[in-house]
Structure 1
């Protein structure tokens, strides 16, 4: 059934049953927390995101061996923890095929939660974020439950509800090893009254099948839970479609007809930013595509990713005359506002202080 949301006047949408006080019309989403300033997917990163003005925090979720959902961008954790330095876990190193790609490292599904709690987080891209290395080996890998509890705590202390947007990572793979993420996700969200009834929960996936299954499972019973179809760059493909022999790419999901189909099971789309506004060879912004218009016509929210503050990630005209790792606040604000002009409802940013400034100073 369709749970598409009503389209209101203006560029931003209002969720059914949601007042302006409950959910801002333009959302600042802390991508993996404030990952430009703290190692990603740590409670410290999520806390910093909220301190810097994020409305929503994003825990990517993967499973442990004993079926607990934890916050990691990937199930391979060699690059984001100190696991390679711990002798007792040397034998856990394996080579696996994840979504058709052979990867060697350490994987969350081979560790119990107790074992994962012995590890400490490390900065994923130290060359670009050398300042984050001072926090290496300080923070645990949090469970989804712990992230929810932090959001509740920060909601109480700040007086504003902090919403969450969990993303199921590699759902087809986890289903294949009998550690499906979906039931555990629903169970965890319902176990806490904060996510069951108070906060908005934007459930994301780059795959389509598990979102459709979640829609069948929850129906419209959770008014504040919104399913968001993540859409990667046009030439890539959802792995569930690849596994099923379906040849469609993400670009095929961006047509008007496909967005109408997405509206039958999802409440919004979260496309990669260049699917919305591309840049030419010199880095100059091009004319926006029709994707946001198509989505809004179907009553869908549109969030986009990822807006990062460092020179390394900015379009050429917005880079400052400095190093790749330099935090370029002005350039990032300009980039975000270019997308807000096109009608976005939410932005994923690694630096929520910059996102907050971009939203608060935006003049439609």
Structure 2
């Protein structure tokens, strides 16, 4: 009934030109802006079903004709009936096995506790008032019409929907507790035949009981069946094996809403099983499940889901990023072409001093939208919200601007990377733990997706088309904890290799422009970083910290090239820029955000991906980028630049290292490494000795992230490594040098 907007991509031809660092690939790349064909995180059909759970039960007494009518008026696709059986073998629409919660049975039959349905005849049940309880429980929604509503029989319910729906509304019915009611399945099929709906296209039968569903399959081989699930029913099971097994008799599954994650969606959709989660009553939860590609939703609030499906909506949350003391970049995505309005204010009610900006969500950007806000006050918390102009659904966020220039304010940041790879897919617990810290900002240090790893978004990698890359970014944003973190604080995002393909070198990799395009689409990156695709930039937190974000991919020579004066990772201009920033900075801490480590040999033999050549592992390996890093290291030492911290992830374990590169017994700079948030877990190995590393801490085989705190008042900086539950595994305080 509702044409789905979830895919949200029209077919058109686009031409993408390579930018400055990738001039070797200047020939336009033709792509088609259509939905990612292989993704399992999209509905199997073009319609997302609105299933009125017990009727419009948020607005009227469940399982009454009044609630069914209201559901149809609101635009439901299906009306759901729960089935119980009376003492005299009649099927009625009622959720509970007992009558006392939703009728006045205790008043009429006080001596017949526990008032089980199976102990009452249909005639006795028809005497009950099944509507007045709702008026008492929800006085703000009370109606006189609800007084005296009866419990309908299944036949009455079906005929009512047929009569008042003109054949437009589907039927969805559950065999409740079939073990309590022998013969229930035969009676259901008999009534479906009697009412001429057994062969109706829009008919589903559901149950938590596999035995009941298999019996229904035997009685009516063509009927569509849905296996319902609670958490305990899936606990300890391989969801792929379970969905394959269930597909033998069912057309779909109905999991409790919290069970719906990318892995379940992949398992179900690869077996051509529809996914209809229950019971989804908030629009935020509805949006979350739509982003996962569900095929329908059970809801008490029929109108709320109908509203979301009828027009473009914010589909994957909001984010703020690249915040300065006077500006910020805001980001969101819609599920179809729309105008998007952003409001930003120091007032959480948006009633005062509100800045409004509108921008268009277009297919060529996968309907992502970014706006830059200028003229903000330093050291100030701002609230913002976004909505597609045609929709009332709004998503809110907040961030804090950097302190004013030369001010000294304490700082807490979190950092991490390595998400969405090697079989690890959302949800990730670490994001919730990060959010609990209430950081000033989140530094996302690379491998924000694994474009070259199989996940539900791209089961057959590597990603090749821009639609594949887009699908990967949408997949990460199905994580509620991640969306919550992005909405709570500002993010500075950089890329590493897996945003394109493992260990890639930008100028020589054909996929670089496509991967970069998607990366810029999905992050709130300022024009200053985005222009000319340079990505490197300095951000200051007053005089407490200067953060130099590097682009370790866009300018690098091939990894296989032997190290030497002509080999570069950063490119000559970026190296010159980094030196200048380090030299000119008078901030307490100089933080260099690098996506690759200094002394941990990464990549492959004869094709090292980080700065270290790994000659301690293979003495004959001439690769790596040590000569370039030595130039940076020597510059730091020769100019007496203090309190330099390199921060990275990439290696899938946590490590804190101090360096004495000139071997004079003093620390020249430090390296802080965290990860992974959600990728393969690795144990630390040996360090390349070139720059005099000394381990302060190393631990692997766990999901983790880093916390970095700077306190100008005490002249101290503290690093913590926390696991995904927020437990501190390591803490060390550095005394900052004057």
Q: TM-score when scaled to structure 1?
A: 0.71
Equivalent positions of 1:8-157 (< 5 A) are 11-14=42-45, 25-86=47-108, 89-93=109-113, 105-122=114-131, 129-134=138-143, 137-156=147-166
Check the 8 A contact 1:38/1:45 in 2, yes or no: yes
Is 1:265 paired with 2:249?
Answer: yes
Preserved contact between residue 201 and residue 226 of structure 1 (Cα < 8 Å): yes
TM-superposed deviation, 1:132? 4.3
In the alignment, structure 1 segments of 5+ residues that lack a partner are 1-7, 15-23, 94-104, 236-248, 277-287, 309-331
Distance 1:125 1:265, change over 3 A: same
The question of whether the paired residues in 1 share the 8 Å contact of 2:61 and 2:131 is answered with yes
Partner of 2:264: 291
8 Å Cα contact 1:81-1:137 kept in structure 2 = no
Aligned equivalents of 1:138 and 1:254: distance in 2?
A: 48
- Structure 2: distance between partners of 1:164 and 1:124: 26
Residue 579 (structure 2) aligns with: none
Aligned mates of 1:342, 1:127 — CA distance in 2 = 37
CA distance in 1, matches of 2:245, 2:283: 33
Residue number in structure 2 paired with 1:198: 200
* 8 Å CA contact retained: 2:65, 2:160: yes
SS in 1 for 2:58: coil
1:173 to 177, 180, 186: 180
**Corresponding residue to 1:207 among 178, 200, 209:** 209
When residues 213 and 145 of structure 1 are mapped into structure 2, their CA distance, relative to the original with a 3 A threshold, is same
| Higher RCO structure, 1 or 2 (CA under 8 Å, sep 6+) | 1
Q: Highest CA radius of gyration, 1 or 2?
A: 2
Root mean square deviation, CA, Å: 2.1
Contact 1:334 1:358 in 2 (8 A): no
Could you tell me how far apart the structure 2 residues matched to 1:289 and 1:125 are? 37
Match of 1:4 in 2: none
| Cα deviation digits, residues 264-305 of structure 1 (max 9, x gap) | 0101000000001xxxxxxxxxxx341011100001111011
Separation in 2, partners of 1:305, 1:254: 21
Give the TM-score, by structure 2 length: 0.36
Alignment of 1:334-349 (within 5 A): 334-349=284-299
Check conservation: 1:63, 1:69, Cα contact below 8 A: yes
Q: State the Cα distance separating 1:9 from its structure 2 match.
A: 6.9
Is contact 1:303–1:347 with CA below 8 Å preserved after alignment?
A: yes
Q: SS at the partner of 2:278?
A: strand
Map 1:159-170 → 2, pairs under 5 A: 161-170=168-177
Separation of aligned partners in 1, 2:134 and 2:68: 18
Q: Secondary structure at the match of 2:92?
A: strand
Q: Please identify runs of 4+ aligned residues in structure 1 that moved more than 4 A.
A: 123-128, 132-136
Q: Deviations over 1:4-56 (max 9, x none)?
A: xxxx9772224xxxxxxxxx610011000000000100000010001001010
Q: 1:92 to 1:30 in 2, by over 3 A?
A: same
Alignment counterpart, residue 300 of structure 2, candidates 350, 355, 358: 350
Question: What is the total number of aligned residue pairs between the two structures?
Answer: 275
> Is contact 1:253-1:259 (8 Å) kept?
no
**Residue 226 (structure 1) aligned with residue 224 (structure 2):** yes
Q: Which runs of 5+ in 2 are unaligned?
A: 1-36, 314-334, 337-738
Cα distance change, pair 349–199 in 1 and its aligned pair in 2 (3 A): same
Deviations 1:106-146 (A, max 9, x none): 11111111111100114667787333454554200001111
Between Structure 1 and Structure 2, the one with more strand by share is: 2
Q: Check the 8 A contact 1:302/1:344 in 2, yes or no.
A: yes
Question: C-alpha distance in 2, partners of 1:250/1:113?
Answer: 36
Q: Which residue does the alignment assign to 2:402?
A: none
Residue 185 of structure 1 corresponds to 188
Which secondary structure state, in structure 1, belongs to the residue aligned with residue 84 of structure 2? strand
Q: What is the alpha-carbon distance in structure 2 between the residues aligned to residue 83 and residue 58 of structure 1?
A: 24
- Given that 1:123 and 1:129 are in contact with CA atoms closer than 8 Å, whether structure 2 keeps it comes out as no
Please report how far the alpha carbon of residue 250 of structure 1 lies from its aligned counterpart in structure 2 after TM superposition. 3.0
